[in-house]
Amino acid sequence: MFKKLYLGILFLLILLQPDLQAQKRHSDNGDGTFTNPVINADFPDIDVIRVDDTYYMLSTTMFIFPGVPILKSHDLVNWEYCSNVVPRMDYSPCYNLEGCNRYAHGQWAGSLKYHNGKFYVLYNTLNEGAFMCTASNPAGPWEIRKLTRGFHDPGLFFDEDGKIYVAYGYGKIFMTELDNNFAPISKDSLVYKGDIRPGLEGTHIYKLNGYYYLYSTYGGADGGQVALRSKNIYGPYEQKVVIWDKNKGTLNFGIHQGALIQTQTGEWWTMLFLDRGPFGRLPSLQPVTWTDGWPMVGIDGKGVVTYKKPNVGKTYPITDLPTSDEFDSIVLGMQWGWNHNPDSSKWSLTERKGFLRLKTVQPVGNLREARNTLTQKLFAYYSDTAPTIGVTKMVTDKMKEGDIAGLAVFQDPYGYIAVKKEKGKNYIIMVNNGTTVDSTLIKGSTIYLAANAYYGTGKACFSYSIDNKVFKTLGNELTMRFSLSIFTGNKFCLFNYATKQPGGYVDFDWFRMQ
């Protein structure tokens, strides 16, 4: 009991500690330099383009919808949300968690292009094939259509002669010409077989100074980045390792898979990502120097951590991507995404003004099966010791017998702290990977739930309060992982699911990420 009370008081001190509240969460140092990762959260499988003075970045959300996010920036360091290209996927009951799921599936690495006044996003799914999304405005609306076949990790390319190509593949890179409807009109030509190790993928195409460049990765947590070049788009291609940092434990270990970018002032940069375990895959902005016709990344073969910002001709304000939400708007902020497609009739921001109402859907056995679980990424501070803290206020008086509602840290394994309605009473429970570790009876219908996720240790712990002042820890620590069975970084989740009967609901007043 003393230990729990001590940890609860410690949690409160952390929450209120002024210097911790001031911990830097953005990359921009305010002195003309930036520190990698350029976004300290899970934004993998990057493609970046520049249109006039604005940069756009595409990333992967897999089974989270709205998904396929595009961010925008004016300096490659300070980013804001632009749009979520795909509102939902209605091509299989698995996207609705109806007897199956799309964990580790759904949208995979895509390609972002701008051509003749139109934006294009081409992405692939393992089960349904490829999809083409087009818009005249990157903020949307987007037109989405399914193509006749799939292309693994596609790199879309519009050539100067009007021809359209896609490069794709895993281990073996193929090139296929497409018609104006993005259907194949040529055979699939093998243009390069990876020869350093298995897993050559993530290809993007560029044409510079008479050469076609395939910018590709040998993926994995210890991955590296290569460039292939040829005077002919079908090859033969020669290969050059442009960066491969194998120094474990550093912020440049295994940076790979991304895009080449030229600023309006003529500088060259690349946006890659690095695997940082439970928090996911984080974007890393690196300078590029062209040497003998090759885009060499970093400085002296090593990636940079703190470095001068790109020269884009102007200075722009520091920005932080949004995380906290008071639920005062009638639309969800773009930082939120549902775990698989939501049932839109079972949630609301208008039925009770200033609250997010989550209604139960069909009864399920555990959190992995629960629809209408609302998620957002964990953002790490630029510190290995400062925890990322999620806190929410929840009202529970309309729960039904067997309902479980609360706050989770979700991957494989997952953990959560929640209210469970059992025999007409409310219990606070802590669940670690499907097992109820601890529980305690509570009175009253308003509860505050908190989760601390530690970037440095990969641990998470959970606590609760009845007054939002003194928090008591419950249960044990969750050991967070980045498991390929889920294939995204850990996320905070707000959830409410039934185990016996539908019809109950809870109201979330706010969610705040400290």
Which residue bears the tokens 């990969």? Answer: 458
Looking at the DSSP assignment, which residues form a beta bridge with residue 33?
308
Q: Which of 128, 153, 201, 507 is catalytic?
A: 201
Q: What is the DSSP letter of 381?
A: P
Distances (CA, A) of 71 to 46, 229, 253: 11, 29, 25
The label of the residue with tokens 């094939």 reads 129
Residues 360-375 as b or e (16 or more Cβ within 10 Å = b): bbeebeebbbbbbbbb
Cα dist from 105 to 24, 31, 92, 168, 290, whole Å: 33, 41, 12, 17, 36
Structure tokens at 217: 């990765």
Which residue in the list 28, 42, 45, 75 is annotated as catalytic? 45
- Based on the residue annotation, tell me whether 267 is a catalytic residue of this protein: no
Active site annotation includes 45: yes
Q: Bridge partners of 404?
A: 420, 497
User: What's the distance, Cα to Cα, between the start and end of the chain in Å?
Assistant: 26
Q: How many CB atoms are located within 10 Å of the residue 7 CB?
A: 17
DSSP for 205-245 reads EEEETTEEEEEEEE-STT-EEEEEEESSTT---EEEEEE--
CA distance 11 to 13: 5
Q: Which residues are within 8 A (CB) of 500 and not within 5 positions of it... i.e. 6 or more apart?
A: 363, 400, 401, 402, 403
**How far, CA to CA in Å, does 374 sit from each of 44, 87, 351, 393?**
20, 14, 17, 15
Q: Quickly count: other Cβ atoms within 10 Å of residue 282's Cβ.
A: 23
Cβ burial, residue 103 (10 Å; 0-12/13-18/19+): buried
Give the other-Cβ count within 10 Å of 235's Cβ: 18
Q: Which residues are annotated as catalytic?
A: 45, 201
